[in-house]
A and B are shown apart, each in its own frame.
Chain A
């Protein structure tokens, strides 16, 4: 789960990290008031989950409250790289002497947490990793003993970095945030060394491990806001694993791999998937009904392909769910269905006489649904 910059900064401030004074707002008028109260030049920053926000115009400088209001008008309610800006963060402008990068994340190959530090911050770290890998210092974090003072010292002393003592405190506090919150990423970029020679968190990103949310009750308040799409929000409420995409072919399957495989197959046949939806293993009729209803909320969907490989999932349960859904809502688009495996025969019998279009294989289904939804583009 991604949380917004202002939320990440709230958390970092609570852990004693040096965060710029700022306030979040959702209207130009509030932005004006905040800037006026600050009485200083401000920066107005769009709160959306996109990379390269600055380059896309999502960060604007304002010297007066009026300019701040104008900046907010330009950002609020407008799309930034496809996402609507609902909130902006208004912060005091900081004069920066140099920028560093500091982050902790999971290294999948090493199967460990890793601390990343670079004396050259500000840019996308992935970019730096490609163009200048030697500029990034890496420290793998011991899973039992965590970060040691000696290791951090060694990492910092290799580099030309000011006020090492203060930076050390920041590093250890960031690691504490990372562990306490079950984060997958805690990143300060840039970490500014200001003109008044002190450290300041200019931008921050924290991603929380979805699998750990059960033991992170404090994250519930952020959860709601992390889902910007209305259908995705409804899917989450109904506990349906759904991701909205921008095509016209609705896709339902059991198991994430099979769903992805089905999406690929539909694309291969010339169609564009409208979503990812996994009903999971052993889904009951109710889950299938929910799945179908969620998909059909998207008005772009011109047809649905259900691809079920019954293992623990029983095909007759899936069939019952489809029938229940078609009784509850008026389905106006064609539905192609492939049932195979556990109780496939019973499932097909239940569906005979309905308007559903049965197919034998994943390939056949993909071709059929693409043909029915407008063919190859």
Chain B
């Protein structure tokens, strides 16, 4: 049972008939995700991989009882798509779409907050509950079921790290790709309490990135947590004032440097990895220590 979704979570895909939407619908079905419907205005009656397409989210939800939606629509329609999902009664929204204007996101955040809906993304790879379900575009083949929880601001770097864990025999519980934009629905600070409460997760990996202060904000909460945390910050060598692909990955006005994030994490007890291949080693150590203290308590 994952912190956000499990094998029984019913999922719809907004923008299912597009190139990305249809490709990833298939990939999700292969992994075992219960994709029960798609939404593309004007395409009702069509189907993708045998999954029916509806005109609106409302229709899709009333026909399928879906509670989650994965959004693949073009950036200029993302704001409407997210608002439609909220109106349609969806409780978990994953916006994969990249390039959503910041002002659209500010509006959307207000909407999801006022309706108590969880939004992940935009510009994110989605989430996976290892061995159960995946919502988004993370390749299913890299996962192994286990007790390591991950939350990341990056996409492909996360795949690299999950792959390294799997090769080292360290399975995962939930992997949440939070997205690389300046304004995102769910940040480290929102996801950490879920991992802390999750009985399956024993150790947590946070993959941060230069830009913003999400890592520093999370540090305050981390101090209160009981589970060990391994951290990695990407973009340590990126220069100031240059935007590194992700709209959020820019060091501006002295804010968002890797040093400040590493320092904040170290001070709150996070084991910070220098390189990605150090991560599995740190996880093993943390697990060993955790098990040891458990035995002592016995």
Residues of A that sit less than 8 Å from B by CB = 51, 106, 108-109, 111-113, 124-126, 143-144, 179, 182, 184, 209-212, 214-215, 241, 243, 245, 253-261, 263-268, 273, 276, 278, 281-282, 309, 311-312, 340-342, 361-363
A261 to B275, CA, bound (A): 8
- B139-A341 in contact (CB<8A): yes
> Given B106, B180, B236, B254, which contacts A113 in the complex, CB threshold below 8 Å?
B106
Asked if B204 CB lies within 8 Å of chain A CBs, one says: no
Q: Do B106 and A211 touch across chains, with their CB atoms under 8 A apart? A: no
Closest to A106 in B: B102
Interface check B110, CB cutoff 8 A: yes
B180 & A245 in contact (Cβ 8 Å cutoff): no
Q: Which 6 residue pairs across A and B have the least CB separation, nearest first?
A: A257-B154, A255-B156, A256-B245, A257-B157, A258-B156, A212-B101
- Complex CA gap A159/B23 in Å reads 58
Cα A265 to Cα B277 with chains together (Å):
10
B159 pairs with A311, CB closer than 8 A: yes
B92 CB, min distance to chain A CBs, angstroms? 18
- Separation of A108 and B243 alpha carbons in the complex (Å): 16
A255 touching B236 in the complex, CB below 8 Å, given contacts A212-B102, A260-B249: no
Asked if B245 and A111 make an inter-chain contact with CB atoms under 8 angstroms apart, the answer reads no
Bound complex: CA A243 to CA B245 (Å): 8
CA distance A282 to B23 in the complex (A): 11
User: Beyond A311-B137, A311-B138, A361-B277, is A264–B101 a contact (Cβ under 8 Å)?
Assistant: no
- A240: min CB distance to chain B, Å: 11
Name the residue on B nearest A49 (C-beta).
B241
Contacts of A215 in B (CB 8 A): 76, 101
A-B contact pairs, 12 of them (CB 8 A): A108-B182, A111-B109, A143-B109, A179-B103, A182-B101, A184-B102, A212-B102, A257-B155, A259-B244, A309-B159, A309-B163, A312-B23
B23-45 interface (Cβ within 8 A of A): 23-24
Are A209 and B154 within 8 A (Cβ)? no
Q: Which B residues lie within 8 Å of A273 (CB)?
A: 237
Stretch at the interface among B168-176, B209-217, B262-270, B280-288: B209-217
Chain B min CB distance to A275 (Å): 10
Interface centre among B100, B138, B160 (most CB of A within 10 A): B160
- Least CB distance, B97 to chain A, in whole angstroms: 10
